Structure 1
Amino acid sequence: MNASAHSPGKPAPIPPSEQNLLTRVAEPWCKVSDEVLQLEGLCFDRRGTLYFLEVFGGTVFSLEPGGRTPKALFRLAGMNPASVKIHRNGQLYISLLGDFKQGGLLICNPDGSGRRTILQDYVVDDIVFASDGGFYFTHFVGSSCEPTGGVFHVSADEVVTPVMRNMAGPNGVALSTDERVLWVTETNANRLHRIDLAADGKTIAPYGTCVPYHFTGYHGPDSCSIDSDDNLYVAMYYQGRVMAFNRYGFPIGQFLIPGRDEGHHLLTTHPMLAPDSRQLLICTNDPVGQKGSWIFSAEAFAKAHKTYQFT
């Protein structure tokens, strides 16, 4: 990597402890808009159709396999959707930030019809499904000095059980391939949590929590996802990059968005692998340089994990 990338004059210099990580530079893959849209929630269905959304306008998009022109499906005005995941029955599960005090989880068909909302007492930022039909979600509230957020398990019959509390803005959530390890990014405390789950899947195993990594810089870790080797990919918000960790939480690499040294495309929010490939997609936008909203692409360290939604 060019040494100038570490210059203290850059808006998001790579911290010294991370400068020698294996580094790959992503390439532009799809321009979503000339406007600055807070893109989030990359998720594929069984056909290979990509779904994603933009938070503050509430538009849900799709992109057909092989296409580069996103289609606006419907809009959730005022709901501030933060992620979209696809149940194996084909329904969309859309996390809602709401007014950042109350939000919920919207369940609907891919065209936006047949809507119902659950978890309205929570500010739901992200979810990950388990193979038993349940899922985990993050309650995205709490600050660094007042940690009131948490991570919760929801059973297939929609019974909510707390997994972890007293967190400062828990954001991204991912589940290991064997479903025994839950990963959570804590944005407002700049931490990565690794949680060993008990056999019931909703409580923590003895001595089962640790913070294997403390992030450096502004603003903090955002959404995350895994590959088939249980490597974890974490988007760094306001840093224009994605960090990669092995199954134990040791950093093994990073993916840089081109233009980040000049302040472009810093709002990286979500990394996701395309099915049956090593293609890592990263969504971001450029509020400083006004270069619009994009999805970038890079080669991941392993192929995509075949998650619950495809079984």
Structure 2
Amino acid sequence: MENNTIPALVYKENTNNIVPILSHEAHLQTVMAEQWLKISDEGLQLEGLCFDREGHLKLCEVFGGTVFHVALPEKKVTKLFQSNKQNPAAVKIHKDGRLFVCYLGDFNHTGGIFAVDSNGEKQEDIISDIDTAYCIDDLVFDSKGGFYFTDFRGYSTNPKGGVYYVSPDFQTITPILQNLAVANGVALSTDEKTLWVTETNANRLHRIDLLEDGVTIAPFGASVPYHFTGHEGPDSCCIDSDDNLYVAMYGQGRVLVFNKKGYPIGQILIPGRESGHMLRSTHPAFIPGTDQLIICANDIEMGGGSWLFTVKGFAKGHQSYQFQV
């Protein structure tokens, strides 16, 4: 016979949510993003938001390899080119104006970086998938023309990934931080002295203080100021002009925001997340010269297509040298 007098657990509004906001994050300033642009009716793995010097948007679709061009202000979406490398994950602009495309390859050892002109032509290998064993997910340039990239390999108990620096002549690769379980997003502070890295499969945020050479970690300079919770983990990230860090949470339909010391100060929710829609939030990026943040997400499992969402950040986006002709 059932005993109805014993204590029982019951679902409450937040605990019954497929991606609940945990109590230690529920107090954060929270805003709901708005739909900005539909990229496709299909569920495409959108990534790599990058605005060019004319103010137009470039982004890529990982599993299909398409690199899109979004002309602004009319928001006209066209195909810029089709990557002949497997699983492109990021698009960034070098100081010489070329687009650098990171690709993951087979997620084991065939990733790399190639560069193309603004039309997606004149391709050149920067880090070849023949000569290295990286799976490169993202990069951030410094003002010298060198860059930091993340190696997206490993898993929770097999930390094969890391973050590396490539010299401005692209001839030397220097390890910065290794033994990471899928290094993913990477961002550089406005003074270029602090490097941020997200570690997806260990749910960690790394803050790395660098010496003047840009490759040596300062004494006691590498720390983990924040441990994320939940499935699947932190993805790509960007900074604003106040050095706040915006981290997309893959599989959670939201972006967490941290101050320059790594303390959480806000969060942005993607509409529909509470019912399991648009959970694959991958990358935030500011429209240059504004405080308007664009976030890409998709709905592969639920059939809701692929969208860009928008919200205003705490400050304007960092006006990096790469947008200056």
Same fold (TM over 0.5): yes
The CA RMSD measured in Å over matched residues stands at 1.2
Q: 1:55 aligns with which of 59, 62, 70?
A: 62
Q: CA separation in 2, counterparts of 1:309 and 1:266?
A: 31
Q: Counterparts of 1:113-124 in structure 2 under 5 Å?
A: 113-119=121-127, 120=129, 121=132, 122-124=134-136
Q: 1:43 aligns with which of 39, 45, 50?
A: 50
Asked if structure 2 preserves the Cα contact closer than 8 Å seen for 1:5 and 1:14, the reply is no
Q: CA separation in 1, counterparts of 2:270 and 2:84?
A: 30
Structure 2 portions without partners, runs of 5+: 1-10
**Partner in structure 2 of residue 211 of structure 1:** 224
Q: 2:287 aligns with which of 255, 266, 274?
A: 274
Q: 1:147 aligns with which of 136, 145, 159?
A: 159
Task: Kindly state the Cα deviation for residue 76 of structure 1 after the two structures are TM-superposed.
Answer: 1.4
**Partner in structure 2 of residue 202 of structure 1:** 215
Equivalent residue letter for 1:170:
A
Q: CA separation in 2, counterparts of 1:5 and 1:83?
A: 39
Q: 1:105 aligns with which of 102, 110, 113?
A: 113
Deviation string 1:256-299 (CA, Å, 9 cap, x unpaired) is: 00111111100000000111101010000012321100000001
Q: Counterparts of 1:155-170 in structure 2 under 5 Å?
A: 155-158=167-170, 159-170=172-183
More displaced 10-residue stretch of structure 1: 284-293 or 189-198: 284-293
Q: CA separation in 2, counterparts of 1:161 and 1:219?
A: 29
Give TM-score scaled by structure 2 length.
0.93
1:310 paired with 2:320, answer no
Q: CA separation in 2, counterparts of 1:108 and 1:79?
A: 16
Q: 2:299 aligns with which of 273, 286, 306?
A: 286
Equivalent residue letter for 1:109:
D
- Between the two proteins, the alignment pairs up a number of residues equal to 308
Q: CA separation in 2, counterparts of 1:88 and 1:156?
A: 10
Asked if structure 1 preserves the Cα contact closer than 8 Å seen for 2:85 and 2:103, the reply is no
Deviation string 1:96-153 (CA, Å, 9 cap, x unpaired) is: 1011121100111122211111322211100000001100000110111011111000
Asked if structure 2 preserves the Cα contact closer than 8 Å seen for 1:129 and 1:308, the reply is no
Query: Compared with structure 1, are the counterparts of its residues 146 and 69 closer, same or farther at alpha carbon in structure 2 (3 Å cutoff)?
Result: same
Equivalent residue letter for 1:108:
V
1:185 paired with 2:192, answer no
Give TM-score scaled by structure 1 length.
0.97
**Partner in structure 1 of residue 7 of structure 2:** none
Q: CA separation in 2, counterparts of 1:15 and 1:257?
A: 16
Task: Kindly state the Cα deviation for residue 71 of structure 1 after the two structures are TM-superposed.
Answer: 0.8
Q: CA separation in 2, counterparts of 1:39 and 1:194?
A: 26
Q: 1:137 aligns with which of 144, 149, 156?
A: 149
Task: Kindly state the Cα deviation for residue 78 of structure 1 after the two structures are TM-superposed.
Answer: 5.4
Q: Secondary structure at the match of 1:43?
A: strand
Q: CA separation in 1, counterparts of 2:232 and 2:155?
A: 12
Q: Secondary structure at the match of 1:275?
A: coil
